[in-house]
Structure 1
Amino acid sequence: MARVTVEDCIDKVDNRFELVLLAGYRARMISSGAPLTVDRDRDKNPVVALREIADETISVDDLKEDLIHSMQKHVEVDEPEEDAVPSRASIGSSVSARNDDDLQEFDRMSEEDLLRGLDGLVPPAQTDDDEG
């Protein structure tokens, strides 16, 4: 096959800059060991990548998705919809509607009670290493 040109590929990828990005990405894939979809014919990896795009032996859309995925630093995670997770307000209203006997009691401590409790604690024993 004769040398491939950008004009051979421009009907597959409309934007020349995008074509260069995709062909460069595919050439790097080839150099890292990806299987070829066309005969090499002593061509270098960028030329082989352009020939693959021109011959449509690889999907341009799949190549574009792979390129975008390889450049992403933060992968977006699908989070559950708001209806699936109850909000604090709905939890609070359902709890307040219950009987007071059903609620679990929590211990509350004032700052003064905490300080009095800390005063009564005995410090840990010092070792020879701690004496300095």
Structure 2
Amino acid sequence: MARVTVEDCIDKVENRFELVLLASHRARLISSGAPLTVDRDRDKNPVVALREIAEQTIAPDDLKEQLIHSLQKYVEVDEPEAETVPLLGNTAAASTADSDADIQFDRMSEEDLLRGLEGLVPPAATEEDERE
């Protein structure tokens, strides 16, 4: 087959620079084992890629999406919004709405906390611990 030229492909991809990017991406895909959509005819991978674009056996828009996806380092996944679900421990408290207003928190000073930590003793050693 005669050599493919940029003019053969320019009506499929208007921008020459984008054409080069798409053809080089397709040539890399071919070299990594992607199936061909045209006969090779002893042509090298870039020429085969240009022929595929010229003969419209592969869509330039699909190539563009594949190229963008291959260059992305972080793929953002659209996940549904998290629904507010009450915690299991709060279900009993949620059933009695009046008790929510009565909740009080204990306050402890730093000195009280340190005194409490100093008074802690290590747990007694069991027979299994002594054997190890």
Normalising by structure 1, we get a TM-score of 0.73
Residues 107 and 39 (structure 1), Cα distance of their counterparts in 2 relative to 1, 3 Å cut: farther
Root-mean-square deviation (CA), in Å?
A: 2.9
Indicate the percent of aligned positions where both proteins have the same amino acid. 79
- Summarize deviations over 1:56-115 as a string: whole Å, max 9, x none: 001111111111000000111214348x558xxxxxxxx7xx212687766554323321
Query: Which aligned pairs between 1:15-94 and structure 2 lie closer than 5 A?
Result: 15-81=15-81, 84-85=83-84
- Summarize deviations over 1:4-62 as a string: whole Å, max 9, x none: 01111011111111110100000000001100000001100000000000000011111
- Name 1:91's counterpart in structure 2: none
Q: What 5-or-longer segments of structure 2 have no aligned partner?
A: 86-93, 124-132
Residues 8 and 66 (structure 1), Cα distance of their counterparts in 2 relative to 1, 3 Å cut: same
Normalising by structure 2, we get a TM-score of 0.73
Higher helix share: 2
How many residues matched?
114
- CA distance in structure 2 between the aligned counterparts of 1:17 and 1:57, rounded to whole angstroms: 20
- Name 1:2's counterpart in structure 2: 2
Residues 100 and 9 (structure 1), Cα distance of their counterparts in 2 relative to 1, 3 Å cut: same
Residues 59 and 105 (structure 1), Cα distance of their counterparts in 2 relative to 1, 3 Å cut: farther
Secondary structure at 2:50's aligned position in 1?
A: helix
Q: What 5-or-longer segments of structure 1 have no aligned partner?
A: 87-94, 125-132
